Chains A and B, each alone.
Chain A
């Protein structure tokens, strides 16, 4: 089974893209939003995930966030930074607590920033390995900005260090 990184652990990838031709036999399925809306009423076993593109408006996902265990954001090219904003919006504005996974063009050199934007799952692109992705995480001991990873800016930590003695 393919390996992915979730919460800084290498784990087998249990998620399979939904296909209308295949019979539903349970297991973790990834749906596009319209696919999910078409089959949502039917009872099924296994977890539900949504597959979205980087230009997805998060507002359209809002009603379904409580029922999905994973949102896979498909990054077609790693130089497309829209997924970074989408990750932060889902975490910080929409309060989504499930897994946000980067899929597509995901390499060792991009996961550090994605993680800071709220991604906790990373699926390596073909030729890249989960092991490499792990090495790309947590490269910096501090950060100036607020982000999902650090909701307060560095200047507030500097302040509390000083006032705390």
Chain B
């Protein structure tokens, strides 16, 4: 994580003081509900079904052990002992009390955290690859870029009231694990032989009601121009984005209406005002941020599998399954990244208890360098675990139900909180996720399917990213009843939007529908190397639609 200096610290404290005063005036009746709304949203506070919900920023998904302990403390002290990790690498508390929120923000500020701009029509928390800085396939560490953007966007005076929310994602590895194609701005780091580090800039991607993949506005933006170019994009959007209809207010609609060519010209014209000006980055600032990102002191370890680990792999098949499924290659020999699945069969996806958070914080210090990552797939990650420590870590994880070997598999369900908590939702996500966990309880069968991303959103706002799930499920309201629309063939990267297979289904029909599609896939695939999503790409959606709907048609004909 980036360690604040005294100025960063003062700014976050001044922000808390401002919100404390606003909350006081709201409670005293001096600030109306309507006037208070945008300001509480810009500090992460929603009014939900049961209670206010507080969304705390986890900048680019990186946490220290002490920060995770503070999140656990907040869960215990101000909530019901649980936090929900989101698809945007943040954490949400569903049971906070409004008068206590300034105190929660003050408690966060003590550990260099905040809830700034986690909601509202402003630049939101920047997201990135959850293996940033530790992935074997990395070109550049995106965390420096993310921190530059965090600072630039925090309290940006010009962009406090954009037409709509604005999400930026940064990826620095060969594989795009940040879904850059479906963000308002997606930055892919590129290393140019002559010009050095830069970014490919995509604009106008997004999910929601009108899902779109972003357009490339600039193939190569030299890194020093990052902030001035972002200013130019945001200004064009702030001035010309639609404000008359919230469903047409995202930048994707503007880019489409303008065409990307004209949008690019507008941005370049605006950029002329800023380019090479004072906000142009200097190497010293990049070096300063790099120095403040705590770098682990890796030991020199032998490459390859240590003998004790090999022995455990040989005689413990559960351990071996977990080892194959939940690890990700590390750039330093002898180390690995361990994904702690928050998708055990009886757990709402992405939820962690305060006790689990405390335990994870302890392991991050015992087995790593005191750092934890949050993935947009709603899992937690312990980076920097020595291979020789894996047996001990696994034994520690199991009693806490944090070793479910399902990362990348069907049961690694990504889901928004849905209608149980969210006031926007048309349908509930969590009971459906539970029904699917029950249906697909045969772990060996699920493993035999290979990689399947299953995403559930309770409404068109698409917090569960259903459009980019290999299987996406969207909750809809049909005459006051919950129904679910199924799409298939979506992918996070390269971003591809799924296609709807047919009419929406009643909740009790969904598990069987998925089973039918997956059985069809097992028959259709060329080999077990062909993933579900690749089979869909090859054969189209028709065989899957038939698998789901044909039995009913036969019944109707009979």
Contact = CB atoms under 8 A, between A and B. Distances in A.
Interface string B226-254: 01000000010011000100000000000
A109 B39 contact: yes
A146 B155 contact: no
Contacts of B503: none
Contacts of B160: 81, 84, 113
Interface string B283-306: 011001000000000000000000
B279 A145 contact: yes
Interface string B272-286: 010001110110110
Contacts of A146: 277-279
Contact of B7 (A79, A93, A116, A154): A154
Interface stretch (A6-14, A16-24, A134-142): A134-142
B4 interface: no
A143 interface: yes
B10 A144 contact: no
A117 B157 CA distance: 7
B151 interface: yes
A141 B160 CA distance: 18
Interface in A68-114: 78-82, 84-86, 88, 92-93, 107, 109, 112-114
Contacts, number: 101
A158 B288 contact: yes
Nearest to A153: B279
Nearest to B37: A79
Main secondary structure of the interface of A (DSSP, over half): loop
Contacts of B285: 155, 158-159
A158 to B, nearest CB: 7
B278 A80 contact: no
B158 A84 contact: yes
B159 A81 contact: yes
Contact of B238 (A79, A84, A116): A84
Contacts of A131: none
A151 interface: yes
B156 interface: yes
Nearest to A105: B35
A142 B161 contact: no
B282 A156 contact: yes
B7 A142 contact: yes
Nearest to A75: B161
Interface string A41-78: 00000000000000100000000000000000000001
A146 B273 CA distance: 13
Contacts of A114: 157
A123 to B, nearest CB: 17
B121 A79 contact: yes
Nearest to B18: A139
Interface of A: 55, 78-82, 84-86, 88, 92-93, 107, 109, 112-114, 116-117, 139-147, 149, 151-156, 158-159
Interface of B: 5, 7, 10-11, 14-15, 17-18, 22, 31, 35, 38-39, 121, 151-152, 154-162, 227, 235, 238-239, 243, 273, 277-279, 281-282, 284-285, 288
Given A79-B38, A82-B243, A144-B151, 9 more contacts: A55-B239, A81-B162, A116-B157, A139-B18, A142-B10, A144-B11, A146-B277, A146-B279, A159-B285
13 contacts: A84-B157, A113-B157, A116-B157, A139-B17, A140-B11, A142-B7, A142-B10, A144-B151, A144-B155, A147-B157, A147-B158, A151-B278, A156-B282
